[in-house]
Amino acid sequence: MPCYSSDKLNALVKEAKKYTAQGKVADYIPALKKENPHDLSAAIFHPDGRCISAGDVDQKITLQSISKVLTLALALMDYGEEQVFEKVGYEPTGDPFNSIVKLELYNPSKPLNPMINAGALAVTSMIKGETIENRLERILDFVQKLAGDRKIGYSQEVADSEFKTAYLNRALCYFMMEHGIIEEEVEGLLELYTKQCAIEMTCLDLARIGLVFAMDGADPFTKEPLIPRDIVRVCKTFMVTCGMYNAAGEFAVRIGIPAKSGVSGGIMGVVPNRFGIGIFGPALDEKGNSIAGLKLLEMLSEKYSLSIF
């Protein structure tokens, strides 16, 4: 499906790009340090197949936390809401994505929501499959179907780099193991989680996945249901309440669409019944969201009245 460079989107990207100077690329995952902080690209996918883009849309990005919403959908498809939410809660934390502080809050203990690292690790531990490879294959197969792109894989370099330095995520896992939330060997789970976070795609693919969520789970072209509508509703709700970490409240006020960000600088935006948005801008603000990506979304939301509220 061709995607056309758009003058209007290019003008907004040019304007938003100015803000990259105020951000920093993530460095706690060493391999992400290589990203160029001045990059900004975006794509918008419409249900009729029209796709517009701006910037270098061939560049690949790793999903990082954006993957959390996709594994949540898959776990819900595997187990249903009741079983998934035995292991993870529904509530926003207002804390950074990697925070450990509220893990003891629920009684019995469980992570507050599936969009923080603790909750996402609990969700990944639910992904079915005989081996780590099988489970990764299932995640990849699902992501490829959503993006309509069978070539999607993961970056071994980024996965290895995170795996070696994932001290905090290891701590979260062991804490949850103590409380019976995680029942498998931690190193294997971390291998799967870091590979899931290292799944690579372009912002066109990301926009295409956003479109599937915008269209209630249907493949935009074949109309095949890829995710049940009810599960899409759960995912979109978490994107609104927790998708931008501890900036979700301000994001809801200023932009007002379901969205999920990752520390690679990716943002997947969902404009219900209208279009999917994929953005890549690796310079992050202090909360770990793409600083220019947020500006771009703010401009788009204002110009095209995107807020769902």
Per-residue binder mask for ligand GLN (CB under 6 A), 196-235, x = binder: -x--------------------------------------
Tell whether residue 142 is a contact of ligand GLN (CB under 6 A): no
Tell whether residue 289 is a contact of ligand GLN (CB under 6 A): no
13 as an active site residue: the answer is no
Tell whether residue 262 is a contact of ligand GLN (CB under 6 A): yes
The encoded tokens of residue 199 equal 């799944």
Nearer to ligand GLN, 172 or 218 (CB): 172
Q: According to the 3-state scheme, what is the secondary structure of the chain?
A: CCCEECHHHHHHHHHHHHHHHHCECCCCCHHHHHCCCCCCEEEEECCCCCEEEECCCCCCEECHHHHHHHHHHHHHHHHCHHHHHHHCCCCCCCCCCCCCCCCCCCCCCCCCCCCCHHHHHHHHCCCCCCCHHHHHHHHHHHHHHHHCCCCCEECHHHHHHHHHHCHHHHHHHHHHHHCCCCCCCHHHHHHHHHHHHCEEECHHHHHHHHHHHHCCCECCCCCCECCCHHHHHHHHHHHHHHCCHHHHHHHHHHCCCCEEECCCCEEEEEECCCEEEEEECCCECCCCCEHHHHHHHHHHHHHHCCCCC
Residues 153/199, Cβ–Cβ less than 8 Å: yes
Interface with ligand GLN (CB under 6 A), residue from 263, 267, 270, 277: 263
Nearest to 258 by CA among 233, 231, 222, 230: 233
Interface with ligand GLN (CB under 6 A), residue from 53, 71, 117, 155: 117
Options 102, 193, 236, 240, the catalytic residue: 193
Considering only residues 160 to 199 of the shown chain, the ones binding ligand GLN according to CB under 6 A are 162, 169, 197
Residue 113 assigned to a binding site? no
Nearer to ligand GLN, 62 or 301 (CB): 62
Tell whether residue 35 is a contact of ligand GLN (CB under 6 A): no
Nearer to ligand GLN, 68 or 87 (CB): 68
Tell whether residue 288 is a contact of ligand GLN (CB under 6 A): yes
Residues 258/213, Cβ–Cβ less than 8 Å: yes
53 as an active site residue: the answer is no
Options 6, 245, 271, 295, the catalytic residue: 245
* Exposure class string for 31-48: b at 16+ Cβ within 10 A, else e: bbeebebebbbbbbbbbe
109 as an active site residue: the answer is no
Nearer to ligand GLN, 53 or 196 (CB): 196
261 as an active site residue: the answer is no
Residue 250 assigned to a binding site? no
Minimum distance from CB of 160 to ligand GLN (Å)? 13
245 as an active site residue: the answer is yes
Per-residue binder mask for ligand GLN (CB under 6 A), 58-97, x = binder: ------xx-------------------------------x
Residues labelled as active-site residues = 65, 68, 193, 245, 263
Specify binding-site residues. 65, 117, 162, 169, 193, 245, 263
Site residues (vs ligand GLN, CB under 6 A): 64-65, 97-98, 117, 162, 169, 197, 262-263, 288
Specify binding-site residues for substrate. 65, 117, 162, 169, 193, 245, 263
